[in-house]
Amino acid sequence: MRPQTLIVSLIDVGLLCATAAHADSIAERYMLEGKLAAGEKAALDHLKTHPDDDQARFGLGATQFLMTFEHIGASLYKHGLRSERALPGLSRQLRDLLPQKADPDELSYQDVRKALQTFLDDLEKAEATLANVKDPEVKLPLHLGLIKIDPFGLGVPINADFILSRTGINSPWNTEETVVVFDRGDVDWLRGYCHFLSAWGEALLAVDGQEMFDCTAHLFFEKVATPHAFLQEEERDLEQRFRRWDPALFSDVIAFIHLTRFPMKEPHRMKASLAHLEAMMVHSREMWKHYQTETDDDNEWIPNPRQKGVMRVPVTQERVDTWLTTVNETEKILQGKKLLPFWRGTNKNLGVNLRRAFTEPRAIDPILWVQGTAATPYLEEGPITDFANPRTLTQINRTFGGANFFGFAFWFN
């Protein structure tokens, strides 16, 4: 065999291997068409006969995670989210992406709680699926920017590339060509996000928002079940009302602020919220254990310091170490081993035990928390979190670039 022929053959073999490594998964076949429900069924049917296929299981969990947002979006649309009439200054392009139902169903506060419970149930299902992914070498290649979801249940799925193009934002990569290869560490990453969102869902269901709904839901939904029928008899176009400084509208806004005090309705849910936050901390550490052992560099979603990753954002060892220190410190706060600094009085050893705010919940009043009096039941003396130490904050700011920390936190989970 001539050298030129050998080289060509080796190149062909390399291309075939790369194609096989990035072959479409069961999940992606349906994700690219925006047929998530069909994708879920196909994956479930496949796993009945191939129970050891963790790529399919990973894809199923990711599909179920995305379906969570389709379900909540369909509920918002069904009940007349005022996306066209209640968002002043919204561009025409965004209005097209967020249509408003012409004849919506009436929305009650119980409908809101039902939608939140469905949200929690969906997240629990996705997390349970992901929990069964055990293969340390699992890989799930996805054209991330081309994945479609049907945000309002209208049978019109759209992808991130379309959304970015309509909002004037340049895509960070070529969505037609870039494949993100999610791996074992990303299983924990996605499980962590399931727990993070579930923590918020449980907290929202823990409180009673009936009064706020009755007095202000008309600002956000077209037709609501409220004892104050007159609220829906006035002009509903908020953009026009803002322009002419409608006093009734501003009284509604003031009422919304005034009613941000929520009695406890189901206090046991606050403990469930805390459990989800603690689980998120566990998965944040676990994902980095997997990331740090990787020796390849295969289109990583979150790279280790030896990899580049598709985002092309450097992840140095210093950033990893600082992030894990932040995770450990946050976990100590959630466990009640460290206290949040209290901003009133003169006793510098006095802090807020955040864990007790979850395990011994009372009515939530953000204004009284800012003032300090809402913290009184949870004040005790003890070690204050290192987050109150200027040197710790300086280290975080230096490592992540100040406000960029929040971007990394959103990315790293």
Cα 72 to chain centroid distance, Å, stands at 13
- Taking 60 as the threshold, does the pLDDT of residue 90 lie above it? no
152 and 39 in a single domain? The answer is yes
| 62 & 115 share domain | yes
Confidence of residue 379 (pLDDT cuts 50, 70, 90): very high
In a domain, 82, yes or no: yes
What value does the mean pLDDT take over residues 214-235?
Answer: 92
Q: What angle do CA 401, 403, 407 make, to 5 degrees?
A: 90
Sheet holding 350-352, edge to edge: 340-341, 350-352, 379-381
- 197 and 338 co-located in one domain: no
In a domain, 139, yes or no: yes
- For residue 219, being part of any structural domain is answered with no
Final residue in a domain of this structure, among 286, 315, 344: 315
The answer to whether residue 105 is domain-embedded is: yes
| Shared domain check, 353 and 278 | no
Looking at the fold, whether 401 and 280 belong to one and the same domain comes out as no
Contact 207, 269 (CB under 8 A): no
d(CA 325, CA 396): 10
Gap between the Cα atoms of 149 and 236, Å rounded: 30
Averaged pLDDT of the chain: 88
**Which stretch of 239-243, 300-304, 345-349 has the lowest confidence by average pLDDT?**
239-243
Task: Quote the number of domains for the chain.
Answer: 2
Q: What is the pLDDT of residues 108-145, one digit of tens each?
A: 999 999 999 999 999 999 999 999 999 999 999 999 88
Report pTM: 0.89
Last residue of a domain, one of 284, 315, 346: 315
| Residue 267 and residue 396 in one domain | no
pLDDT at 152: 85
Judge if 85 and 126 occupy the same domain: yes
> Which is higher by pLDDT, 247 or 50?
50
The reply to whether 266 and 364 lie within a common domain is: no
Q: Say if 225 falls within a structural domain.
A: no
Phi, psi of 196 (to 5 degrees): -60, -50
C-beta atoms surrounding 359 within 10 Å: 14
Which residue, 295, 315, 335, sits at the end of a domain? Answer: 315
Q: Output the pLDDT for position 235.
A: 76
- More reliable by pLDDT, 144 or 382: 382
Residue 59 has pLDDT above 50, yes or no: yes
Which structural domain range is residue 133 located in? 20-209+262-315
Please indicate, yes or no, whether residues 192 and 331 belong to a single structural domain of this protein: no
Residue 252 lies in a domain: no
251, part of any domain: no
Mean pLDDT, residues 43-67 taken together:
96
pLDDT at residue 86 is higher than 90: no
The CB density around residue 250, as the number of other CB atoms within 10 Å, is 12
Q: In the chain, pLDDT over 90 holds for what percent of residues?
A: 69
Does 32 lie in the same domain as 99? yes
In a domain, 241, yes or no: no
Residue 239 has pLDDT above 80, yes or no: no
pLDDT-above-70 percentage for the chain:
86
Q: Is the pLDDT reported for residue 18 higher than 60?
A: no
Distance CA 227, CA 213 (A): 10
CA distance 266 to 258: 22
Q: Output the furthest CA–CA distance in the chain (Å, rounded).
A: 88
The answer to whether residues 189 and 301 belong to one domain is yes
Residues 139 and 171 both lie in one domain: yes
